[in-house]
Each structure stands twice: as C-alpha cells, then as structure tokens.
Chain A
Amino acid sequence: DGGITQSPKYLFRKEGQNVTLSCEQNLNHDAMYWYRQDPGQGLRLIYYSQIVNDFQKGDIAEGYSVSREKKESFPLTVTSAQKNPTAFYLCASKGQEYNEQFFGPGTRLTVL
C-alpha cells in the first residue's frame, strides 16, 4: 500500500533535548512538508522540500531543522531552541492530481 508513515506516534522528551521525527513516503512524490498543529488550532507550515537536497523555511521554522537526502524521507529535528515544542506534528507529501496534501498519521510530541 502506498502512503506516508510517521514514527513514533507518541514521543516524550525532556526539555533541552533535540528530537528527530521520522517521515517516510512511498508515493513517489517530489514535494514534502512538515506542519505543526496545536490543540484546537489550524496547521502551520514549518519546512517544505520540493525536491531532494533542497528545502525552504515555512512560516514557523525557528527552532526546527530538516534534511532531504532521499526522495522518500524528510525527517524533522525539533531542537532545544524551539520554545514551545509540545504539539502534534504532521508530515505531508504533495499529490499530482490536485497538488493536494497527503498527510501521515502524525507524531504527538510532549516535552516535559
């Protein structure tokens, strides 16, 4: 089955630690995205990548970093510089029919 996987589903970290969230897709999509969702809020774009070895900052990139070494993978690192890292993180890739977003199941990060 084609799709996007994110792991883990739930993640707990201590304050001051960096943490990397995994995102893998087998849809053969070029573009991938990371969004952050806070309780009762919409989705805010963190970073996006239109092609391998290239990525751009979204609206709230501060405190985050990404890499895009393979087409299938777009990991997100939440660094200790991110002031309020506790949130639901969604990875997405862009479909070809409508340029729609295909979302993964998300990772719920809690920083204690």
Chain B
Amino acid sequence: GQQVMQIPQYQHVQEGEDFTTYCNSSTTLSNIQWYKQRPGGHPVFLIQLVKSGEVKKQKRLTFQFGEAKKNSSLHITATQTTDVGTYFCAGRRAAGNKLTFGGGTRVLVKP
C-alpha cells in the first residue's frame, strides 16, 4: 500500500533559526497537504499543493512539491515559539478519496 514517510521525526530548533522537514511518498500523488497539530490539540489544515514543482508561501512557511510529485518539503524561516507542534504531510493518490498521513515532524523550539 501507499506509504508516506517524514523526516526528521523530531526537530529541536533554536529560536530564530531556519529548518526544513521532508515528506516522501512511495507512490506518485495527485496532491499533498500539510497540517499542523499544536501540543494537546488536533491537526489543522495549512495548505495543499497540486502541481509538479509548485511552491507556496505562508508568511515564514514555504511549501514545495517535488517535480515527480512524490515528495514535498516545508521550510520555516526565523523559527518562533509559536511554531511549536507537529507538522504532518498527507498525500492523496490520483482519483483517491483517502489521505495517507506521514508520521509527522515534532518541532521543539529553544528560546
């Protein structure tokens, strides 16, 4: 079956630094979504990428979809304490109705 892997599993970041988390699918995707789950909370939708090579920005967050539509990345610049949480990618295969979630990257920020 389809697998979605995320690395790293944990990311300790000094406040103000940048970091990137990566998402890799075993199969080609029709689209990929990113979610953020704050500690003790539930996942909240951030963004969807559909086109090959697509890049989208949300303030300090930059999302990229790979050319082969099998991988994606989330880059956060100038990390803040509000960025703490777990970031999940979720991929959907063509004509599929299910999202397959990656294991998440848990981000901890050191002030």
Chain A interfacial positions (CB closer than 8 Å to B): 31, 35, 40-45, 48, 50, 58-59, 90, 95, 98-106
Contacts and interface: CB of A to CB of B under 8 A. Distances in A.
Given A50-B97, A90-B42, A106-B42, A101 B103 contact: no
B45 A43 contact: no
B43 A48 contact: no
B1 interface: yes
Given A100-B48, A101-B35, A43 B97 contact: no
B99 interface: yes
Contacts of A100: 33, 45, 48
Per DSSP, are chain A's interface residues mostly helix, strand or loop, or mixed? loop
Contacts, number: 50
B101 interface: yes
B85 interface: no
A103 B42 contact: yes
A103 B33 contact: no
B99 A101 contact: yes
A30 to B, nearest CB: 11
Contacts of B70: none
Contacts of A41: 103-104
Contacts of A104: 42
